[in-house]
Chains A and B, each alone.
Chain A
Amino acid sequence: MRRNLRHATTTIREKRERAVAEVPDWERLRDRGAAIKDATLSDLAEQLLTLEASVTRAGGTVHWARDAEEARTIVADLVQGHGSDEVIKVKSIATDEIELNAALEQRGIHVTETDLAELIVQLAGDTPSHILVPAIHKNRAEIRALFQRTLGAELDTDEPARLAEVARLYLREKFLTTRVAVSGANFAVAESGTVCVVESEGNGRMCVTLPEVLITVMGIEKVLPRWADIAPFLQLLPRSSTAERMNPYTSFWSGVTPGDGPQAFHLVLLDAGRTDVLADPVGRQTLRCIRCSACLNVCPVYERTGGHAYGSVYPGPIGAILTPQLLHLENDNANTLPWASSLCGACYDACPVKINIPEVLISLRGQVTAAKPLDVEGVAMKTAAWLFAEPHRFEGAIRLARLGQGPLVKHGAIHALPGLLGGWTGTRDLPALPPKSFRELWRDRVNGEQA
């Protein structure tokens, strides 16, 4: 798994750097993207009401979902209301977030993912491990075996072109026979009611044009005020995510057009914790995220653990700040995520909308720690703070540790530590405390002695 990931992230990392270097005013573009998002977020309620009015005017219907449960019910009711027991889907993390597929299957509605990587994940009964490359943890040989097993395909090679051909054949039939599609949205323009999906394979284009009914599920933070606001993001997004100058397919639609494309359009606006994120002055910048995955691709922790280790629909650095905020800090998986980082800052440097991920991580760590009962770590930290509060206490602690380390020191280093710190010495040596601390040496020097 680590090898698959390293290969994929290293390749995309290098490509991204080249793609970004081509834009002379990349930094200004990042600032512009961040500023547009911030301005929209500060006026979110108004923008969403404008969006609703515009979508309605264009012949679509807007639905408001307070939480995942409401969103699932709305979508399932819509599918069945249109007399269908089958949907095709274009990759949408929001629908993963609300666990839509399982809910639809439970209501007897069969779901087919049409993004190649999503399809692979679905056929394997797996979960996505990357925002943009959901099957990044699988290599070609594994995918070939999967297609042979689940699609009955005869594959004498694991050439990507052949694998894609098998999937294409399978999906073409679905596109042409399924009456309802579910999509996500990258952006929606409030003033015109236009929804936008950006993708690479053309499956999204098929989903938003071929079926009779289109249901789009969109997080409320995806709205942009004006048509012109989309332009910087269409530069920032592809270069940051797939390292392309322009993504192959960008689809826009506004409501319905008689005789052309779906004849019914539903837009489900999903809150599911987002207004709470908005209320946190440090955390709210998280809602700028355009789901490009640049932070995952540069993250040394993600590279070694993979997306599943986060136990979250949103993996990597962005997931480590978004998931605990959406699911709230009392969620026992989510509230450990802010510590899944060395705070190296590579994610902040890569983020096209300048989300200061380390800052939000630290803020969330503080919030989680403040809310939990005191444990061993807490006692150690509070003790350390007490020692640091007075120089003589600190100096005393160094002296005491120097006495105590005796039996642990071998050849000037410590090779095994007890308790919490054992994780360090499992693979790493620790230098032993020297005979004198700096402050002792300094005092010697001031006293005119030889240091």
Chain B
Amino acid sequence: MTIDLFLTCLNDALFPRTGLAMVSLLERLGHTVRFNEAQTCCGQMHFNTGYQPEALTLVRKFVHDFRDAEVIVAPSGSCVAFVRDLYPKAAEWAGDEQLLDEVRRLGERTFELSEFLVNVLGVEDVGAAYPHRVTYHPTCHAARLLRVGDAPLRLLRRVRGLQLVELPAAEQCCGFGGTFSVKNPETSTAMLADKVQHVMDTGAEVCTAGDNSCLMHIGGGLSRLQSGTGVVHLAEILASTGAAS
């Protein structure tokens, strides 16, 4: 299958390793990976913060950039949820019937990495090895908007050498929420403090998730506390074949 990478602006700029991991993982599974360099950002930050005309411009750009894609896969539950769940709303609110039709069809072939592997490709063992104690944080948009369910856990359970430890109160938001963390830093920090505590309570070496935005937040808290626990995107664990990352 030819897979179009939707890398997301954050991964492109800050977490290119996650993108490389996606490429090597999907190629190892026998697929062709394309990256359309015209892509930039899906517009979620603008839409969710209240800048809907600006977001709409980016929605239209995204539709244009990915028009020819067979399937679109992204290392972000949040950005995929935006495309699948909120693009139709954006189009509806703008009263653009043609765009609504286009984004609905686009949403049907846009996937978050773990759901793509498990639900579309039907793969659980991706041939990875990662000899570490790992805990998994289900990010809000992947869990609640995409309902990826236990797809990430199924993948992690099949990784050689990986010891999966359950995260207490896993489904609680880490407090990132995009611009929420900047606009409401105190509340966001209070939420993060609990999340970081729970991660440390597991004794995991690594906290993983399907979203680098949430991991950036959790990792930022762990780093400030010099906890020694790191954050690694799920794609990097799944791409790993043994050596410590």
Interface residues in chain A, defined as those with a beta carbon under 8 Å from any beta carbon in chain B: 2, 282, 300-301, 304-305, 338-346, 348-349, 359, 362-363, 365-366, 368-370, 377-378, 381-382, 384-385, 387-391, 394, 398, 401, 413, 415, 420-421, 423-424, 426-431, 433-434, 436-443, 445, 451
Cα A419 to Cα B43 in complex, Å, equals: 23
Chain B residue nearest to A2 in the complex (CB)? B190
B221 at interface, CB cutoff 8 A: yes
Please state if A413 and B41 are interface contacts (CB–CB under 8 Å).
no
Cα A339 to Cα B178 in complex, Å, equals: 11
Among residues 178 to 193 in chain B, which have CB atoms less than 8 Å away from a CB atom of chain A?
178, 180-185, 187-192
Please state if B13 and A437 are interface contacts (CB–CB under 8 Å).
yes
Please state if A428 and B51 are interface contacts (CB–CB under 8 Å).
no
The CB with the most chain A CB atoms within 10 A, among B40, B50, B51, B182, is that of: B50
B144 at interface, CB cutoff 8 A: yes
B175 at interface, CB cutoff 8 A: yes
Please state if B181 and A424 are interface contacts (CB–CB under 8 Å).
yes
Residues of A with C-beta under 8 A to B16: 434, 436-438, 440-441
Q: A426, A433, A440: which contacts B14 (Cβ < 8 A)?
A: A433
Residues of A with C-beta under 8 A to B216: 430-431
Residues of A with C-beta under 8 A to B13: 398, 401, 433, 437
Chain B residue nearest to A365 in the complex (CB)? B50
B126 at interface, CB cutoff 8 A: no
Cα A351 to Cα B145 in complex, Å, equals: 15
Please state if A423 and B12 are interface contacts (CB–CB under 8 Å).
no
Residues of B with C-beta under 8 A to A378: 51
Please state if B58 and A424 are interface contacts (CB–CB under 8 Å).
no
Interface residues in chain B, defined as those with a beta carbon under 8 Å from any beta carbon in chain A: 7, 9, 11-17, 19-20, 23, 35, 37-41, 43, 45-55, 57-58, 61, 86, 89, 93, 140-141, 144-145, 171-173, 175-178, 180-185, 187-192, 216-217, 219-221, 223-224
Residues of A with C-beta under 8 A to B20: 438, 441, 451
Residues of B with C-beta under 8 A to A415: 224
Cα A420 to Cα B49 in complex, Å, equals: 15
Given A301-B187, A368-B50, A438-B11, check contact A424 B182 (CB 8 Å): yes
Given A430-B216, A438-B16, check contact A423 B187 (CB 8 Å): no
Please state if A300 and B58 are interface contacts (CB–CB under 8 Å).
no
Residues of A with C-beta under 8 A to B89: 359, 362
Distance of A150 from chain B, by nearest CB (Å):
32
Taking A342-B176, A394-B40 as known contacts, 8 extra A-B pairs with beta carbons closer than 8 A to each other, sorted by chain A number, are: A304-B187, A343-B178, A345-B141, A366-B50, A377-B49, A423-B183, A441-B16, A443-B37
Q: Is the interface of A mostly helix, strand, loop or mixed?
A: helix
Please state if A420 and B182 are interface contacts (CB–CB under 8 Å).
yes
Given A339-B183, A423-B185, check contact A438 B173 (CB 8 Å): no
Please state if B51 and A381 are interface contacts (CB–CB under 8 Å).
yes
Please state if A428 and B50 are interface contacts (CB–CB under 8 Å).
no
For the complex of A and B, the 7 pairs showing the least CB-CB separation, nearest first, are: A342-B177, A423-B185, A365-B50, A428-B220, A369-B50, A344-B173, A385-B54
Q: A359, A362, A429: which contacts B223 (Cβ < 8 A)?
A: A429
Cα A344 to Cα B35 in complex, Å, equals: 30
Q: A344, A388, A428, A441: which contacts B177 (Cβ < 8 A)?
A: A344
Residues of B with C-beta under 8 A to A349: 144
Residues of B with C-beta under 8 A to A427: 185, 189, 192, 221, 224
Residues of A with C-beta under 8 A to B11: 438
Given A385-B51, A394-B40, A431-B14, check contact A342 B182 (CB 8 Å): no
Cα A391 to Cα B38 in complex, Å, equals: 6
Residues of A with C-beta under 8 A to B55: 385
Please state if A300 and B172 are interface contacts (CB–CB under 8 Å).
yes
Residues of B with C-beta under 8 A to A423: 181-183, 185
Cα A436 to Cα B89 in complex, Å, equals: 35
Cα A357 to Cα B12 in complex, Å, equals: 31
Given A365-B50, A368-B50, A369-B50, check contact A339 B12 (CB 8 Å): no
Residues of A with C-beta under 8 A to B178: 343
Cα A87 to Cα B68 in complex, Å, equals: 70
Please state if B189 and A343 are interface contacts (CB–CB under 8 Å).
no
